């Protein structure tokens, strides 16, 4: 909201404080000043000058050399490019050294060979609204040589951010009252008339939806003359960024920004009979005065008349059919109270907001209804003439006081023949609460003084009546807040207190995740953080899509959780796996020329357990992606290897090195994988390993071999942090024996190991794969066979084995292998 410093100065004594001091004062009391703009000049070097001569500059189509009288005794030569002035006009002249708004310093100079000793100014160059499109032609009565700042005052516009709890600050009077309260400066006379003459509305106003509009007033003013607003009023509106329209409409806007209560003026000639404040019919049409059409619902509140037409969307905007025009002679001025949630619902649904709806949504004070009406009537009679009837009042102020207090509430009474009663909030405040909150640093006397300055009254000791405009003050903590913000947190000493807290499970999870992340980073993997909302399907490879999920458990129909109203199809569902994000990252980086694609991410994945009917579960997982080259090319490694499954296995071995890793081909497929395996650590399934389908890679613009693993972080942490005891180091040496088995090419390593284990040879301590030999040509070995060499180590914990004992053990193992493995031959 924009606030004009000059306008503000009408209501509160701001003498002797600079704009910056004022801004700080407001900001540190909770009214944030987001910006400040200077309008007009306060520099004495900008003076009134009269143009004495004007000679065109030869060779220029627009420049003139002017001799101006700036009251210095001699004429001053200035080159000027404007066209809209003549000899004898009085215009603003910035003398050398003057600083114009925006920090523009005027210097002597030369233009096309002619000395120019200053600048003749337009209104906009002086921060004023530009009307003439050229120099600012000043009134002839202005005295030559007078500083312009003495004739038209400069202004500062403050851009304020008002928090939603303080609708009472959405006006100049509101800010003035606040400024007086926080600074102790005196507040000047209230611009609203003391009281207004009222009459019961009777049948002229029908409150047909009292739950949305419990109080409505209308004032008929006949014989008004519509025309432009007086200069002072138009200037104030322009200063805060509004466009003057006509005197009546401008006055309703002026009152809104003066007192904070929205008003609306109808052309009385367009209103047939009584005003009906009712809910709209479903599908009812409304054309706003901005010529936009809207379809209404029964949740919307409208102002209508006997003809049934919608004259206005209550509290939001007037209709095209009933607005004030140049031909209007009689008006009906509305001042009412609308339920905030109702106005909010309508503006949000229609995407139609206004200065008026902004205030009603946040909660206008019913106390202001009559004040604003009376003030507007006063101004309209002053500026547009006419004759006003008493304010017709229908309904009563809503009770905003908590019910249990209502009975004993103090009540303000407004109006004459039809009264409006506003109950005041009453709050009990125990100073002990203040002492706890501030560590006893705020003297009670001073706290009481602050509350009084803010308009509260201590009706009985410890009980405070809140002013009718402060609907946000309901409980003692609201009062404490007022005291603390006005007293200033700077004046409350900082303390450092702490208690011992036990380490939580989340602390340990955080530590495990950090350690694992640094381990992977050390292994040459970059951590990424990808978006948790992904697409169901996307043509753009850099957008993560559910199609490429490679979750630990296969996805079932309905497992994926969709948001009801996504921002875009690209972010429509919660990721059930980290693979889509990591693949999109790989695709993006491949696109940028990266050849080594090694990424990991640690984060939550989401799914519904029962195909959309069960619980939503969230799970921390680790995703690791390896694609393309194993490492960067260098002068010694011109063509680094491409990534193979064993490279990713090697990384998996690093995660929990003390647990044995094994991969077993997965029974259930994931669409995006060409093959996959369950990852077992220490015998527990805790992840899924996949070669991403080359077709998927190609469609992602990732024409390289790509491997991915997703692991359950909770299981990894359990395994990694499980207690254990160290094993004794062997006292006796082990003996090695190698064996080469020729087996069918399709026989898996895991099956051979299974057979080795089946031998249950007590002396065998390890069996390690040494070499695999194949010969596709079939010369040295049949093409459908492979020769696999294993190194076996035998050891006895209690003695050194003799060669014969080792041989016997080895032979026993090989015998089992021959029995268990079909088609095996020994070499």
Partner 1 sequence: MMKEQIVSVKTAALAEIAAAQDMKQLENARVHILGKKGELTLLQQGMRDVPREEKPAVGALLNEVRSAVNAALDQRLVELQQAADEQAVAGVDVTLPGETLPGGGLHPISLVRNEAVRILRRMGFSLADGPEIEDEWHCFDALNTPEDHPARNERDTFYFDSGKLLRTQTSTVQARVMEQQAPPVRIICPGSAFRRDAIDATHLSAFNQIEGLYVDKEVGVGDLKGTLEYFLKALFGEETPVRFRPHFFPFTEPSFEIDVQLLAAGQAPRWIEIAGCGMVNPAVFENIDRKTGKNLYSGCTGFAFGIGLERLAMIRWGIRDIRLLIENDVRFLAQFS
Distance CA 778, CA 236 (A): 97
Burial call 416-443: b when 16+ CB within 10 Å, e when fewer: eebebebbbbbbebeeeebeebbeeebe
Of the ranges 455-463, 492-500, 692-700, 703-711, which one interacts with partner 1 (CB under 8 A)?
492-500
How are beta strands 411-414 and 420-423 bridged, if at all? Answer: antiparallel
- 416 token code pair: 């004459």
CB of 504 to partner 1, least distance (A): 4
Distance CA 552, CA 51 (A): 85
CB of 44 to partner 1, least distance (A): 27
Closer residue to partner 1 (CB): 18 or 529: 529
CB of 528 to partner 1, least distance (A): 4
Closer residue to partner 1 (CB): 333 or 627: 627
Among 71, 200, 523, 554, binds partner 1 (CB under 8 A): 523
CB of 491 to partner 1, least distance (A): 10
Distance CA 729, CA 347 (A): 77
CB of 641 to partner 1, least distance (A): 12
DSSP H or E run through 56 = strand 46-56
CB of 288 to partner 1, least distance (A): 21
Q: Nearest 5 degrees, angle CA 336-CA 341-CA 346?
A: 85
CB of 600 to partner 1, least distance (A): 9
Site residues for partner 1, 151-170, by CB under 8 A, read: 163-166
Distance CA 151, CA 139 (A): 10
Q: Which residues contact 757 (CB under 8 A, 6 or more apart)?
A: none
CB of 294 to partner 1, least distance (A): 17
CB of 509 to partner 1, least distance (A): 8
Site residues for partner 1, 566-625, by CB under 8 A, read: 566-567, 571, 574, 585, 588-589, 592, 594, 596, 598-599, 604, 606, 616, 618
CB of 623 to partner 1, least distance (A): 12
Of the ranges 127-135, 250-258, 316-324, 565-573, which one interacts with partner 1 (CB under 8 A)?
565-573
Establish if 536 lies at the interface with partner 1 (CB under 8 A).
Answer: no
Of the ranges 217-225, 289-297, 472-480, 700-708, which one interacts with partner 1 (CB under 8 A)?
472-480
CB of 594 to partner 1, least distance (A): 5
CB of 358 to partner 1, least distance (A): 12
Site residues for partner 1, 433-462, by CB under 8 A, read: 436-439, 441
Q: What is the DSSP code (8-state) at residue 666?
A: -
DSSP strand E in 269-365: where? 275-279, 285-287, 293-295, 301-305, 310-313, 317-318, 331-337
Of the ranges 244-252, 269-277, 501-509, 731-739, which one interacts with partner 1 (CB under 8 A)?
501-509
Closer residue to partner 1 (CB): 421 or 531: 531
Of the ranges 98-106, 193-201, 390-398, 475-483, which one interacts with partner 1 (CB under 8 A)?
475-483
- Nearest Cα neighbor of 704 from 625, 600, 638 is 625
Distance CA 501, CA 518 (A): 27
Among 114, 457, 485, 714, binds partner 1 (CB under 8 A): 485
Establish if 525 lies at the interface with partner 1 (CB under 8 A).
Answer: yes
Closer residue to partner 1 (CB): 10 or 481: 481
Measured between alpha carbons, how far apart are the two ends of the chain, in Å?
90
Site residues for partner 1, 341-360, by CB under 8 A, read: 341, 344-345, 348
Burial call 88-99: b when 16+ CB within 10 Å, e when fewer: ebbbbbbbeebe
Q: Nearest 5 degrees, angle CA 818-CA 824-CA 826?
A: 80
Neighbours of 270 (CB within 10 A): 19
How are beta strands 533-534 and 573-574 bridged, if at all? Answer: antiparallel
Of the ranges 305-313, 378-386, 390-398, 479-487, which one interacts with partner 1 (CB under 8 A)?
479-487
Closer residue to partner 1 (CB): 23 or 679: 23
Site residues for partner 1, 790-819, by CB under 8 A, read: none
Closer residue to partner 1 (CB): 567 or 726: 567
Please count the residues of this chain forming the interface with partner 1, following the rule CB under 8 A. 91
Of the ranges 448-456, 561-569, 687-695, 783-791, which one interacts with partner 1 (CB under 8 A)?
561-569
Of the ranges 39-47, 394-402, 489-497, 780-788, which one interacts with partner 1 (CB under 8 A)?
489-497
Contact 492, 442 (CB under 8 A): yes
Kindly state the greatest CA–CA separation across the chain.
Answer: 128
Closer residue to partner 1 (CB): 266 or 487: 487
- Nearest Cα neighbor of 164 from 28, 4, 359, 318 is 359
Closer residue to partner 1 (CB): 84 or 441: 441
Closer residue to partner 1 (CB): 16 or 164: 164
Of the ranges 62-70, 320-328, 385-393, 558-566, which one interacts with partner 1 (CB under 8 A)?
558-566
Q: What is the DSSP code (8-state) at residue 629?
A: B
Site residues for partner 1, 262-301, by CB under 8 A, read: none
Site residues for partner 1, 37-96, by CB under 8 A, read: none
Establish if 514 lies at the interface with partner 1 (CB under 8 A).
Answer: yes
Which residue is listed with tokens 């613009």?
701
How are beta strands 764-773 and 825-826 bridged, if at all? Answer: unpaired
Among 478, 678, 751, 807, binds partner 1 (CB under 8 A): 478
User: Residue 316 to residues 290, 313, 398: CA-CA distances in angstroms?
Assistant: 12, 5, 19
**Size of the chain, expressed as the number of residues it contains:** 827
Among 81, 230, 340, 736, binds partner 1 (CB under 8 A): 340
Site residues for partner 1, 721-750, by CB under 8 A, read: none
The SS3 of residue 146 is coil
Establish if 428 lies at the interface with partner 1 (CB under 8 A).
Answer: no
Distance CA 771, CA 787 (A): 8
Closer residue to partner 1 (CB): 518 or 732: 518
Establish if 642 lies at the interface with partner 1 (CB under 8 A).
Answer: no
Closer residue to partner 1 (CB): 119 or 451: 451
- Helices 505-522 and 645-655, interaxial angle, to 10°? 140
CB of 161 to partner 1, least distance (A): 9
Of the ranges 39-47, 446-454, 555-563, 682-690, which one interacts with partner 1 (CB under 8 A)?
555-563
CB of 608 to partner 1, least distance (A): 9
Establish if 17 lies at the interface with partner 1 (CB under 8 A).
Answer: no
Residue 339 buriedness (CB in 10 A; 0-12 / 13-18 / 19+): buried
DSSP strand E in 117-263: where? 119-120, 155-161, 198-200, 205-207, 215-222
CB of 36 to partner 1, least distance (A): 15
Site residues for partner 1, 19-38, by CB under 8 A, read: 27-30, 32
Q: What is the DSSP code (8-state) at residue 187?
A: B
Contact 85, 51 (CB under 8 A): yes
CB of 152 to partner 1, least distance (A): 32
Which residue is listed with tokens 């190609």?
698
- 178 token code pair: 């606040």
- Nearest Cα neighbor of 710 from 581, 523, 539, 572 is 581
The string of DSSP letters for 554-613 reads ---TT-SPBPSS-SSGGG-EE-S-SHHHHHHHHHHHHHTT--EEEEEEEEEEEEETTTTS
DSSP H or E run through 259 = helix 247-259
């Amino acid at each position: 909201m924009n606030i004009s410093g000059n306008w503000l100065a009408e209501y509160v004594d701001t003498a002797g404080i600079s704009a910056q001091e004022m801004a700080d004062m407001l900001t540190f009391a909770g009214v944030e000043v987001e910006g400040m703009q200077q309008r007009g000049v306060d520099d004495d070097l900008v003076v009134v000058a009269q143009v004495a001569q004007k000679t065109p500059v030869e060779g220029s189509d627009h420049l003139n050399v002017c001799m101006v009288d700036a009251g210095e005794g001699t004429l001053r030569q200035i080159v000027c490019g404007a066209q809209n002035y003549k000899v004898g006009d009085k215009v603003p002249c910035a003398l050398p050294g003057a600083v114009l708004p925006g920090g523009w310093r005027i210097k002597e100079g030369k233009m096309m060979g002619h000395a120019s000793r200053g600048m003749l100014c337009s209104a906009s160059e002086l921060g004023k609204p530009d009307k003439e499109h050229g120099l600012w032609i000043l009134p002839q009565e202005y005295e030559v040589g007078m500083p312009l700042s003495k004739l038209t005052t400069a202004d500062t516009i403050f851009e304020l951010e008002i928090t939603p709890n303080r609708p009472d600050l959405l006006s100049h009077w509101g800010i003035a009252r606040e400024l007086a309260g926080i600074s102790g400066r005196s507040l000047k006379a209230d611009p609203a008339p003391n009281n207004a003459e009222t009459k019961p509305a009777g049948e002229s106003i029908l409150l047909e939806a009292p739950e949305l509009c419990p109080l409505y007033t209308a004032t008929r003013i006949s014989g008004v003359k519509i025309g432009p607003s007086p200069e002072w009023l138009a200037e104030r509106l322009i200063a805060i960024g509004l466009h003057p329209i006509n005197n009546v409409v401008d006055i309703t806007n002026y009152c809104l920004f003066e007192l904070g209560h929205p008003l609306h003026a109808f052309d009385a000639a367009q209103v047939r009979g009584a005003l009906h404040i009712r809910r709209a019919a479903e599908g009812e049409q409304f054309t706003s005065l901005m010529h936009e059409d809207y379809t209404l619902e029964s949740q919307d509140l409208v102002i209508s008349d006997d003809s049934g037409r919608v004259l206005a969307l209550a509290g939001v905007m007037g209709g095209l059919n009933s607005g004030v025009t140049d031909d209007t002679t009689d008006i009906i001025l509305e001042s009412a109270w609308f339920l905030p949630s109702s106005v909010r619902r309508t503006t949000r649904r229609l995407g139609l907001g206004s200065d008026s709806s902004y205030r009603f949504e946040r909660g206008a004070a019913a106390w202001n209804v009559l004040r604003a009406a009376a003030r507007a009537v006063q101004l309209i009679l002053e500026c547009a003439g006419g004759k006003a009837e008493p304010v017709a009042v229908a309904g009563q102020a809503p009770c905003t006081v908590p019910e249990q207090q209502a009975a004993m509430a103090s009540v303000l009474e407004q109006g004459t023949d039809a009264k409006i009663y506003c109950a005041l909030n009453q709050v009990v405040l125990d100073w002990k609460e203040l002492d706890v909150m501030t560590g006893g640093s705020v003297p009670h006397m001073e706290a009481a003084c602050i509350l009084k300055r803010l308009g509260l009254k201590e009706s009985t000791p410890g009980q405070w009546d809140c002013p009718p405009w402060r609907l946000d003050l309901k409980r003692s903590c609201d009062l404490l807040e007022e005291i603390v913000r006005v007293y200033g947190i700077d004046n409350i000493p900082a303390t450092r207190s702490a208690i011992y807290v036990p380490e939580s499970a989340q602390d340990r999870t955080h530590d495990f995740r950090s350690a694992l992340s640094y381990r992977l980073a050390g292994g040459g993997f970059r951590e990424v953080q990808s978006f948790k909302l992904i697409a169901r399907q996307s043509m753009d490879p850099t957008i993560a899509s559910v199609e490429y999920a490679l979750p630990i458990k296969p996805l079932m129909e309905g497992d994926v959780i969709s948001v009801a109203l996504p921002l875009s199809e690209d972010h429509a569902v919660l990721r059930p796996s980290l693979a889509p994000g990591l693949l999109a990252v790989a695709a993006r980086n491949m696109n940028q020329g990266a050849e080594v694609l090694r990424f990991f991410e640690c984060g939550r994945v989401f799914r519904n357990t029962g195909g959309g009917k069960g619980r939503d579960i969230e799970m921390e997982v680790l995703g690791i992606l390896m694609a393309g080259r194993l490492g960067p090319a260098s002068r010694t490694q011109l063509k680094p290897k491409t990534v193979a499954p064993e490279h990713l296995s090697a990384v998996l071995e690093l995660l929990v090195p003390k647990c044995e890793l094994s991969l077993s081909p997965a029974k259930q497929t994931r669409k995006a994988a060409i093959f996959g395996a369950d990852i077992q650590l220490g015998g527990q399934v805790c992840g899924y390993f996949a070669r991403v389908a080359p077709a998927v890679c190609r469609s992602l613009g990732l024409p390289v071999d790509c491997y991915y693993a997703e692991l359950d972080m909770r299981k990894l942490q359990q395994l990694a942090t499980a207690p254990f005891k160290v094993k004794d180091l062997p006292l006796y040496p082990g003996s090695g024996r190698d064996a080469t088995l020729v087996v069918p090419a399709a026989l898996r390593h895991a099956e051979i190991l299974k057979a080795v284990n089946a031998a249950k040879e007590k002396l065998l301590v390890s069996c390690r794969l040494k070499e695999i030999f194949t010969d596709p040509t079939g010369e040295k070995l049949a093409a459908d066979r492979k020769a696999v060499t294993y190194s076996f180590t035998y050891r006895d914990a209690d003695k050194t084995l003799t060669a014969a004992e080792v041989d016997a053990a080895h032979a026993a193992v090989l015998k089992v292998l021959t029995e268990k493995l079909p088609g095996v031959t020994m070499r």
